[in-house]
């Protein structure tokens, strides 16, 4: 009797505490995986700095670019050399910004030279002030460039924002400008890619979701985080029982390459979600693991893909180690088999500007070896 009375008296207090705990949890700031908190390796001085290259001109024009698959049939699998060159030429400044940001952030995290940091922040603030990459006049290739660029920049920037060395402490004004620009661009990326019909939801949507996930952490915006998680679920729920993605199978001879290309953004989103209390590993019965295993099996023996869509697979892309950078987050989410770990070790370090630089340093720092270029 006494116990039940006590429970009745305590109930409102306990409920209040539970609600408070829930609110506190909900308000926890978004964060990246632990490796992003790494301090700068060492702070060097002297004049051995790589210097600051000429800044690429902020791109403020219409995002109307030719596709490298121009003139191809609906499989979008045959490269058009002329239109690829035109695409590379017109997007050169954007790609220079992406690559340059990732490269110098990696250099700064290694050497701690203030010039490297200043150069990066100068580039990003100049583009932010110009409201670059925000044109509403865009085609499919243009909106693709916008989300790729945002993903590259935001994921490199996270290294600076969360490092235990606090490199941005003396640069709050620039940080605010850059983050406001990222935030605005992420809103546009959401608008560009939201609620596409399933038959049009493919690797592009996953890369858009990755750029929004990276931005959500850079700017601590839960709404962006939730959208990235929603898009991830749409993506992995397309993975069939055998680990195939129907919309990537349509890419004929490049189907295996595009399955592999779908993995980096999905693995990164799942990794970022995990540290923020959202476990996506089991979505659609462990679909991400199934997709990863299917791709690794396909690299060993592409015949399964040929049987599935009737086309001999083009393996060119799969000869590049950095195309397997997804193994870093993937092998922290799931237990990778010894042969997969061995494959990963043989390819490290994984450096790719579209995922913000050196992923081995973030996910597997004890196996980072040397400083091969990005």
Residue among 198, 271, 261, 187 at smallest CA distance from 227: 187
Cα–Cα dist 125/109, whole Å: 20
Helices within the chain (DSSP H only):
2-26, 81-90, 92-111, 114-129, 140-162, 172-193, 203-219, 222-236, 246-249, 255-275, 283-300, 303-309, 327-333, 338-347, 359-363
Asked if the peptide bond before residue 206 counts as cis, ω within 30 degrees of 0, the response is no
334 appears as a binding residue in the annotation: no
d(CA 308, CA 304): 6
The reply, when asked if residue 78 is annotated as ligand binding, is no
Q: Which two tokens stand for residue 288?
A: 């991400």
**Is 141 labelled a binding residue?**
yes
Judge whether 261 is annotated as a binding position: no
Burial of 229 (0-12, 13-18, 19+ CB in 10 A): buried
Residue 339: partners with Cβ closer than 8 Å, 6 or more residues away: none
Q: Is 68 a known ligand-binding residue?
A: yes
Tokens of 132: 């670059």
Binding site as annotated, residues for substrate: 67-68, 140-141, 258
Binding site as annotated, residues: 67-68, 140-141, 258
């Amino acid at each position: 009797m006494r116990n039940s009375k006590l429970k009745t008296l305590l109930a409102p207090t306990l409920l209040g505490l539970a609600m408070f705990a829930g609110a506190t949890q909900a308000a926890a700031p978004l964060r990246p995986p632990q490796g992003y908190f790494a301090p700068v390796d060492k702070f060097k001085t002297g004049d051995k700095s790589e210097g600051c290259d000429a800044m690429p001109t902020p791109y403020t024009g219409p995002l109307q670019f030719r596709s490298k698959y121009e003139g191809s049939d609906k499989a979008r699998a045959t490269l058009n050399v002329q239109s690829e060159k035109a695409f590379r030429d017109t997007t050169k400044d954007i790609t220079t910004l992406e690559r340059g940001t990732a490269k110098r952030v990696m250099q700064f995290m290694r050497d701690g030279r203030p010039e490297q940091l200043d150069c990066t922040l100068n580039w990003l603030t100049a583009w932010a002030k110009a409201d670059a990459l925000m044109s509403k006049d865009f085609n499919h290739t243009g909106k693709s460039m916008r989300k790729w660029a945002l993903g590259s920049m935001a994921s490199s920037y996270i290294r600076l924002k969360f490092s235990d060395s606090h490199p941005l402490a003396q640069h709050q004004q620039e940080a605010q400008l850059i983050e406001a620009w990222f935030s605005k661009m992420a809103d546009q990326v959401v608008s560009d890619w939201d609620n596409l019909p399933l038959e049009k939801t493919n690797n592009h949507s996953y890369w858009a979701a990755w750029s929004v996930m990276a931005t959500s952490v850079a700017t601590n915006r839960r709404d962006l985080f939730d959208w990235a998680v929603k898009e991830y679920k749409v993506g992995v729920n397309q993975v069939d029982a055998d680990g195939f993605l129907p919309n990537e199978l349509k890419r004929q001879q490049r189907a295996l390459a595009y399955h592999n290309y779908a993995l980096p953004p999905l693995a990164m989103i799942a990794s970022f979600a995990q540290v923020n209390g959202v476990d996506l590993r089991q979505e659609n019965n462990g679909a991400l693991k199934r997709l990863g295993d299917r791709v690794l099996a396909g690299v060993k023996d592409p015949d399964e893909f040929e049987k599935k869509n009737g086309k001999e697979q083009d393996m060119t892309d799969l000869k590049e180690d950095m195309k397997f950078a997804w193994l870093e987050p993937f092998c922290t989410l799931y237990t990778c088999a010894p042969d997969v770990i061995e494959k990963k070790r043989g390819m490290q370090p994984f450096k790719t500007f579209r995922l913000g630089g050196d992923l081995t340093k973030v996910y597997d720092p004890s196996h980072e070896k040397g400083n091969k270029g990005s």
